[in-house]
A = this chain, B = another copy of it.
Amino acid sequence: MSDSQQPEPVSPAAAPRTRPLTETPALAKLAAELLQTPSMLAELSEAELRCVVSYLRLVTYGASTSVFSQGDASNTGYLLLVLSGDVRVEAVPFAGAEAVDVSVLGPGNVIGEMGLIDGAPRATTCIAVTPVQAAALSRKGLDIMLAEHPAVAAKLMIALAKRLADRLRALDEQLGLYAKLAQDAKAELERVTGPSRR
């Protein structure tokens, strides 16, 4: 990695180096606080949250470096809880299309949970806009948590599944919107070109 201060293109994603989050108590405390939100693990007790945090590893990204790359099958199998900094999420909706900005996510946001769950290639590209500190939960960490604290692992998985269900319901709605747009566009095209065109 370069220490150069000059602007540079986004560096490619690589399996990041990590260390236990609990080695940095202030960040471990921040992670527990960020996890205790309604959209994440509000149902967990403080002791359970500390338990989750003990399985997290600290990972840092420089500004303008890649966190995940859409389609990347090697740099997967973990989620990230953003602790500080901003991450831009981009997606290429179909082959050949330009990348579309999906959102910018700051502290408290979780990214990459599908990769943790199924280890499949990343669905979006995520780029660190600023220097980013994040807490990673890997599949290995989840498996150890499952063996050592299965009830906490089960509650974590219920929370993650709920997030996925939320997104599925939102995507379903978006698909309905697209279906309506497609129907309207077809009707408009038939109006201007005549009914013989199908």
Contacts and interface: CB of A to CB of B under 8 A. Distances in A.
Interface string A162-190: 10111111011011111111110110110
A120 B168 CA distance: 12
Interface residues of A, number: 46
A120 B189 contact: no
Contact of A178 (B97, B151, B175): B175
Interface stretch (A3-11, A23-31, A129-137, A152-160): A152-160
Given A117-B162, A157-B158, 14 more contacts: A93-B175, A94-B176, A94-B179, A117-B165, A118-B166, A146-B155, A154-B154, A157-B161, A164-B168, A167-B168, A175-B175, A175-B178, A185-B189, A189-B189
12 contacts: A91-B172, A93-B176, A94-B177, A94-B179, A123-B168, A160-B161, A161-B161, A164-B164, A167-B168, A171-B175, A174-B175, A192-B192
